[in-house]
Amino acid sequence: MNVVVKGGKKYQRTWVENITHFCMKKLVSTRMYNLLEVTVEMRKDLFHKEGLYGDAQPDDWGEARPKFFTVRIDNALRLRPLLQSLCHELVHVSQYAKNDMREVTIKGEMFTRFKGKYYPHEQTPYWEQPWEVEANGLERGMFEMWAADMGIFDDEKNNNWAYLDEYPAGYWEKIWSQDKTEPRQKKLDFGEDLSDNICMVNETTSGAH
C-alpha cells in the first residue's frame, strides 16, 4: 500500500504513516492492502473551521471498489486524539474499499448503502448510522493495538503514555477563543479521563467522518 502524508509536523507525519499501514493491514485482506493508496492531509484547525476532526472519501468515486482515498485530519489535535481519529477514518476507508459502503442518489435523495441496506442521509441520526457504529467501535481498539505493537502502551506501567494523552486542560478555551463569534469559556472541569468519554469525530452529509 502506498501512503502519502501531507502537511503537519515531521513527527506527526511519521506516526500517521506508521499507524495507517498498521490499521489497513488489520482491516483489509493482503491482496486489497497491496492495491490501495491513501493520502492523509493534515489540516490546521479542521475542527475549528468545519466542525470535525477528520473525514475520509474515495478519490475514484465511480469505482465499485475504490483504491484511492483521501483522509483529512485536524493536526491541531494532540497526538493521541489525532491518531485515534485517524483510526476511525481508516475504518471508513476499509468500508469503501470492500464495497460495504457507498454513497448513492435515489430520486434526488442522498443515501448511504451499507452492507446491502440503504440509509437516507437526512433521516438517519449519527449514532444510528451502522458505518459510524462500526468505526466508533473499532477506533480505540485499533489505536491501542497499534500502541501495544509499538511498545508504547502498557496497561500496568502506563509506559510512555503521557505524550499520547487526551486534550490538556485549556485546549477548548484556546480553540473557542480563536473564534470571536463564540462566547469565550474560561472555566471547564474535564473531570475524569476523557479517553472513555470523548467522541473522536463529527458527521456531515459529505463523505464519512
pLDDT of residue 29: 97
Element (H, E) at 197: none
Q: Higher confidence at residue 165 or residue 125?
A: 125
Element (H, E) at 103: strand 101-106
> Any residues with CB less than 8 A from the CB of 179 and at least 6 apart, and which?
48
pLDDT tens-digit series, residues 172-208: 455 556 554 444 443 333 333 333 333 333 333 346 7
Assign 201 to helix, strand or coil. coil
* Of the candidate ranges 71-75, 87-91, 108-112, 203-207, the one whose mean pLDDT is the lowest: 203-207
Q: pTM, whole model, 2 decimals? A: 0.75
Check whether 161 has a pLDDT greater than 60: no
Check whether 71 has a pLDDT greater than 90: yes
Of 18, 68, 151, residue with least CA distance to 10: 18
- Give the percent of the chain with pLDDT over 90: 55
Distance between CA atoms of residues 19 and 164, nearest Å: 13
DSSP 61: T
